[in-house]
Structure 1
Amino acid sequence: MCGIYASNLIIKGVNGRPRIDAAGKNSMGKAIWVVVGNNVIIDNVEMYGAKVRDLNGAALRLEGTGFTLRNSFLHDNENGILSGANAASDIVIEGTEFGRNGYGTGQTHNLYIGKVRSLMFRGNFSHDAHVGHNLKSRAQTNYILYNRFSSLRPGETGSTAAGQPSYEIDLPNAGTSYVIGNVIQQPAANQNGAMLAYGEEGASNTGHDLYVVNNTFLNDDTARGVFVMVGSGVTKPVLLQNNIFSGIGTLSTQVSTVAKTNYRSVAPGFVNRAAYDLRPTASPLVVDAGTAPGVSATGYVLKPVAQYKHVAKSFARPVSGALDIGAYESTSTAP
């Protein structure tokens, strides 16, 4: 347990992945590692067991400007990552697994990113948050690309104990946000029927642009569900394009939502749903049925270029004919 004060520092596990068991201890009453320095990179570590007196102990507490985490596993902490507000900070998280973080109050999460300039969250696996969210971000701009948000089914064995998350993705203050190429699954046992929440705590961020493109949504709750919940303060129409929506539920709570070439079904055809091989089976309603999503209002290309690969990786999305609907091309190899 320590504070990291140096800037432009790289901390990397070699010859295997180091396992850091906090065993209920912490640094500064905050976290296992408190990152105070700027532009710190952490690569290939496993961190667990953080506890503090106020019940929000994190594996990593971010207090500097600029941070990158790669190829790591953060689990069974009161928070996985907890960052402060810093309008000059850009956070990058890639190839990392988050599981079973949260104290159980609903105020602690697998990740809680404060009001920073941007979050790049790419090729990660976030699952089984304990009552809280699998990802909560107040960033001004969010790039949520090619991840898997899903939790254990009853009786399923995984890398952590099962949890009952609330939202899979929570962007409470809106912001310009790109949700592209993800697997977003709500387990049958959960704390909230909404899967992706946007601006529900007040759309105080400058941008109110939400682009939800080529994702595969899976709702395993047979009693309720909201795929995209949009706060009343968001007046700009949300774009939902080329998504698969599996299971029951309201598509969007925003009346003005623009929905284009999506596929809705209680049970869509996948190669092997139980094994999370979510490539679509042959169907003219899905295969080659997508439309070109173009670019965002600021010129960001919305077409997916990669796909999630388990565990916590991504690989190039193949190009074969027109774009398939969902997070995977039917012609790709097993994820």
Structure 2
Amino acid sequence: MYSGDVCGIYASYLTIQGVNGRPRIDAAGKNAMGKATWVVVGNSVLIDNVEMFGSKVPDRNGAALRLEGTGFTLRNSFIHSNENGILSGANPLSDIVIEGTEFGRNGYGTGQTHNLYIGKVRSLMFRRNFSHDAHVGHNLKSRAQTNHILYNRFSSLRPGETGSTAAGQPSYEIDLPNAGTSYVIGNVIQQPAANQNGAMLAYGEEGATNTGHDLYVVNNTFVNDDTARGVFVMVGSGVTKPVLLQNNIFSGIGTLSTQVSTVAKTNYRSIAPGFVNRATYDLRPTPSPLVVNAGTDPGVSATGYSLTPVAQYKHVAFWIGRPVSSQLDIGAYESTSIAP
């Protein structure tokens, strides 16, 4: 345990790695520069295997990690119980990679603070992460020009359930407020019954000011536990290109997409699809010809990026290869795979 270990990190090309276990960094009422536990000013910094919690600042916007340099990678960590998990500034040259990390119960409670808030950077790669129980804010918010959101789990605790953090009531599970070329592939996106907003994936709702307006939503499993309302994909009026929804499971009630021109291919909608064990978050499909081998080849994006899923999420914050035997199953999991 490192108590009050706050600092500015000015060196570039620096690796900070926890060894012989995972060090726990408690802000303990302190902060660096009035911003965060660690303020990353240097470029191309890698942080690996840390747990960070307790960040608070006077303006109620304290982050575990405040990103101000160009280029950043976070791996294999646990970021929880801060006013913000990660908060980045705007940097058109910055590429951010976040993988193998759990985010939980971050947010002050105003709706303006989140598990992650990525500013207008060049790109975000967000893969094999577990983001849950944001406190009123979003489980992921990104203004990046390009977003790769691959093989993650976005799902929060049910009332009375015990987990690694306290339960929260998130708003959007994924928020991409300025659009941007975005790939949402192979994720579990689950909205809890208690939430702050009925939409699960929001795209361009604050103005589609990023250059790209291409959203590819492929082979995800959406689960809406709210029995009163829901929107699976909310698209802002400024988005000029049809969104692609292909090979997704949509479970529960709700509007599929608010965009009239959305292209929907080989998706499966049901109030209660067959899952191996929904209560334990085992969302592999049970045998059904409507799901198993019912997916279609998603091909490539307009820029040539392959849309075919090659992995699937495994708890906690891990992934395994997707074992496709003949044809893709619909959803985030193949029915023949091992338990997630």
TM-score for the superposition, normalised by structure 1: 1.00
Residue correspondences, number: 335
Matches within 5 A, 1:256-275: 256-275=261-280
- Which among 219, 229, 233 is matched to residue 228 of structure 1? 233
Matches within 5 A, 1:279-318: 279-318=284-323
Identity between Structure 1 and Structure 2 (%) = 90
- Which among 20, 24, 28 is matched to residue 19 of structure 1? 24
2:298 alignment partner, SS class: coil
Matched residue, 2:43: 38
Shift in Å, 1:24: 2.3
Shift in Å, 1:82: 0.1
Per-residue CA distance 1:92-140 (angstroms, 9 max, x = gap): 0000000000000000000000000000000000000000000000000
Matched residue, 2:3: none
Matched residue, 1:143: 148
Instruction: Please tell me the residue identity of whatever aligns with 1:303.
Output: T
Partner Cα separation in structure 2 for residue 319 and residue 257 of structure 1? 27
Instruction: Please tell me the residue identity of whatever aligns with 1:172.
Output: P
1:111 aligns with 2:124: no
Q: Which runs of 4+ in 1 moved over 2 A?
A: none
Shift in Å, 1:25: 1.5
Partner Cα separation in structure 2 for residue 178 and residue 24 of structure 1? 38
Per-residue CA distance 1:3-33 (angstroms, 9 max, x = gap): 0000000000000000001122110000000
Instruction: Please tell me the residue identity of whatever aligns with 1:286.
Output: V
Per-residue CA distance 1:160-202 (angstroms, 9 max, x = gap): 0000000000000000000000000000000000000000000
Shift in Å, 1:319: 1.7
Partner Cα separation in structure 2 for residue 314 and residue 121 of structure 1? 13
1:195 alignment partner, SS class: strand
- Which among 57, 72, 82 is matched to residue 67 of structure 1? 72
Partner Cα separation in structure 1 for residue 315 and residue 138 of structure 2? 20
Instruction: Please tell me the residue identity of whatever aligns with 1:203.
Output: A
- Which among 59, 63, 70 is matched to residue 54 of structure 1? 59
Instruction: Please tell me the residue identity of whatever aligns with 2:296.
Output: T
Matched residue, 2:101: 96
Instruction: Please tell me the residue identity of whatever aligns with 2:254.
Output: G
Matched residue, 2:139: 134
- C-alpha RMSD of the superposition: 0.4
1:274 alignment partner, SS class: helix
Instruction: Please tell me the residue identity of whatever aligns with 1:279.
Output: R
Partner Cα separation in structure 2 for residue 84 and residue 5 of structure 1? 16
1:6 alignment partner, SS class: coil
2:256 alignment partner, SS class: strand
Matched residue, 1:192: 197
Shift in Å, 1:258: 0.1
Per-residue CA distance 1:217-236 (angstroms, 9 max, x = gap): 00000000000000000020
- Which among 170, 174, 182 is matched to residue 187 of structure 2? 182
Instruction: Please tell me the residue identity of whatever aligns with 1:291.
Output: T
Q: Which runs of 5+ in 2 are unaligned?
A: 1-5
Instruction: Please tell me the residue identity of whatever aligns with 1:238.
Output: V
Matched residue, 2:11: 6
Partner Cα separation in structure 1 for residue 176 and residue 324 of structure 2? 31
